[in-house]
Structure 1
Amino acid sequence: MTNYLFRTPVELAPSQQKITYKDKIMMLGSCFSENIGKQLHEAFFQVDVNPFGVLYNPLSISLSLERLIENKGFSRSDIFECQCLWHSFFHSSSFSDVSPEKTLSNIQARFDESCSFLKNTDFLLLTFGTAWVFEDRKTQTVVSNCHKLPSQHFNRRRLSIEEIVEHYTLLIAQLQQLNPSLHLIFTVSPIRHWKDGAHENNLSKSILLLSIEELQKKFKNVDYFPAYEIQMDELRDYRFYASDMLHPSETAINYIWEKFSDTYFSEKTKQIKQRLEMLREKMNHRPLHPNSPEYVSFLQQIELEKNNILNEYPFLKERIKDVNSRN
């Protein structure tokens, strides 16, 4: 019988730049970056995910990074009130609050953390979601979130390849000056933006893909991870989508995460990751009978494994301690 393969695998060569447990990783972009960021966090990596909240278009991402590079914080003039909440056009609604002071406090605290983190980041992962942007008609600047303001406040347009490449050529030069050892990994979100239909979605994604290709040609420290292609080709069946038929399912996200791990982690890193994930699973266990001899023995085993890991990798101490504090 012929051995048929009923899918088209996306072949990936292992990256020359390997992510280790000593590295710092920053991620900005669409909600797909949140998915992979969560996986990295749960695997005990040092990761800072979306300090401005979810960002969908390349210009919002570049403007946010420019503010971090320049350490250009936020003031009262950067926020506005709408429907009893105070918002920022640079941030998602997760930062919004009924109090302007609290909104600014939330924004600035997160900003300060990420300013410091970026200077020492080893890998910067940027996920482009769409080439469409909304511009504030008053200021002619691209906004990251419209916060449900009426459409007449904004102009909507599609970015060109040239515009994206021009912005990122300047941005990457700034990043290299701030942090010469920084390595960039670009991805295009596999989440389809269906509001304008299938054809417009494909045009938008094509602009993003071609822009990244141009940046790869210009910079040696720029890499591309094909999350979009894995979802569209290797996982094209609708069983790999959520119920809205647009977002990847949990199974798909886990599969892409494994592909990412195979590409950017060495065998040693994968071994450490496996041990840490097993330790986390044990530490998160909730017993029916916490005073039983069996559970006391189980806790002793956890403590022994934790000490063994810390003896081998003492730099993981704070990260394991963080799990303890949440249990």
Structure 2
Amino acid sequence: MQAKNPYRGLPGRAFWKTGVQQQQPETVQDLYARKFEISPTDCVATAGSCFAQHIAKRMRESGYSVLDVEPAPRGMSERHKMAFGYGIYSARYGNIYTARQLLQLVEECRGRFAPANIAWEKGGRWYDALRPNVEPMGHASQEEVIAHREYHLRHVRGMLKRTDVFVFTFGLTEGWVHTESGTVYPTAPGVLAGDFDPDIYSFKNFTYEEIFGDFIRVRKILQKINPNIRFIITVSPVPLAATASGDHVLSSTVYSKSVLRAAAGALSSRFPDVDYFPSYEIIASSFSGGKYYEEDQRNVRSEGVDTVMRVFFAQHPPVVTEKSEKVAANDDVVCEEALLEAFGTR
């Protein structure tokens, strides 16, 4: 009796030679197969790390109903819109690098979480510590920070009620927290505003279990708001700008992205309403040979973004074919983490 081979008959995508070696990143076939359709009437909300900004822009350009619940004032220039956090995501929450940040934002909207020390001072001006990059000139007082944040949260609550498809990019495992309360910030105090005090703030490197559990909690909360909500999750291919883990930044990057990719894969495997899109693999794997990175080996070139979105739109065809504006890969991205490079040795 002939022995059975479980690999016999598998599709070409299951083998390195036919799925990778004989393919090109620009024209790769069968890398991504969607779990569900996004209809033209579905309201799409986007959030996450810096790379998520590309996905939001391209989806909006392609005719999808990407929410923008905090639009810029009429007449504001494109440059100032970016500087003040307008149109980057579906609300002005800035970059959300970790699953814990996302969870605490959702919980704050529900009145179940009160962040600590949200007003940070710099040069006599005050900044929202949870989104320090959206007001480049700051506010006049702590009270003004709180008032603007309450206004922002009202809009985020409205966004969550309207969202049919939530697109989130996992960016980092590393973060900085208010030790007593557990409040997580998008950047360390002292980078954009505030002062670092080791008695008040501490470094946190989130584990697989924490990331996995945090996103499950987010999913459960959002399902109570909209039982039919679906999720598309990705992992940012952008390496860490700096690490406070004590390890080399390269090792820390590989660790961080590996943990995030494992968590994203497990979430997608467990839940039929969570779809994983492989933007990380397209840019960062050996398949692409590093050609989609700029000379700094960190920022993603426009050709890389084009390739990522070509794979995405092969499964989620554009609603419209005419692009209203050209999207650049780097100049149009706002990223607090990149500012950490300024503190490196020269």
How high is the TM-score relative to the length of structure 2?
Answer: 0.69
Counterpart CA distance in 2 for 1:169 and 1:74 is 20
Counterpart CA distance in 1 for 2:168 and 2:278 is 12
2:233 paired with 1:181:
no
1:47-94: per-residue Cα shift (whole Å, max 9, x none)?
2415310121221122112223x1679899742323322122322321
2:171 paired with 1:124:
no
Letter of the 1:98 partner, please give it. Answer: H
Counterpart CA distance in 1 for 2:294 and 2:125 is 31
Letter of the 1:126 partner, please give it. Answer: F
Larger proportion of helix: 1
The offset of 1:239, in angstroms, is: 3.7
- Secondary structure of the residue aligned to 1:127 is strand
Instruction: Give the CA RMSD over aligned residues.
Output: 2.8
2:109 paired with 1:90:
no
Percent of paired sites with the same residue: 21
1:190 corresponds to which of 221, 237, 262: 237
- Secondary structure of the residue aligned to 2:320 is helix
Comparing 28-37 with 243-252, which one deviates more in the overlay?
243-252
Q: 1:38 to 1:234 in 2, by over 3 A?
A: farther
1:263 corresponds to which of 301, 306, 315: 315
Letter of the 2:164 partner, please give it. Answer: D
Counterpart CA distance in 2 for 1:171 and 1:38 is 24
- Secondary structure of the residue aligned to 2:204 is strand
Counterpart CA distance in 2 for 1:106 and 1:217 is 39
- Secondary structure of the residue aligned to 2:239 is coil
Contact persistence 1:29–1:50 (CA under 8 A): no
Q: Output aligned runs, 1:20-31, within 5 Å.
A: 20-31=39-50
Contact persistence 1:185–1:224 (CA under 8 A): yes
Unpaired runs of 5+ in structure 2?
1-20, 68-88, 243-247, 326-346
1:109-131: per-residue Cα shift (whole Å, max 9, x none)?
33322211211211101111111
Q: Which of the pair has more CA radius of gyration?
A: 1
Q: 1:16 to 1:212 in 2, by over 3 A?
A: closer
Contact persistence 1:57–1:129 (CA under 8 A): yes
1:160-200: per-residue Cα shift (whole Å, max 9, x none)?
11112222222211111111110011100010115242222
1:286 maps to what in 2? none
The offset of 1:246, in angstroms, is: 0.3
1:79 corresponds to which of 87, 112, 119: 119
Counterpart CA distance in 2 for 1:98 and 1:13 is 44
- Secondary structure of the residue aligned to 1:107 is helix
Contact persistence 2:107–2:113 (CA under 8 A): no
2:140 maps to what in 1? 99
2:14 paired with 1:14:
no
Q: Give the number of equivalent residue pairs.
A: 269
1:144 corresponds to which of 170, 176, 186: 186
Letter of the 2:260 partner, please give it. Answer: L
Counterpart CA distance in 2 for 1:184 and 1:134 is 26
Contact persistence 2:235–2:261 (CA under 8 A): yes
Letter of the 2:196 partner, please give it. Answer: P
Comparing 236-245 with 153-162, which one deviates more in the overlay?
236-245
The offset of 1:7, in angstroms, is: 4.4
Q: 1:244 to 1:107 in 2, by over 3 A?
A: farther
4+ residue runs over 6 A deviation: 72-77
Q: Output aligned runs, 1:206-245, within 5 Å.
A: 206-233=258-285, 236-245=288-297
1:272-307: per-residue Cα shift (whole Å, max 9, x none)?
4104x3xx36xxxxxxxxxxxxxxxxxxxxxxxxxx
Counterpart CA distance in 2 for 1:5 and 1:111 is 49
Contact persistence 1:134–1:157 (CA under 8 A): yes
1:200 corresponds to which of 252, 255, 267: 252
2:214 maps to what in 1? 167
1:39 maps to what in 2? 58
2:99 maps to what in 1? 58
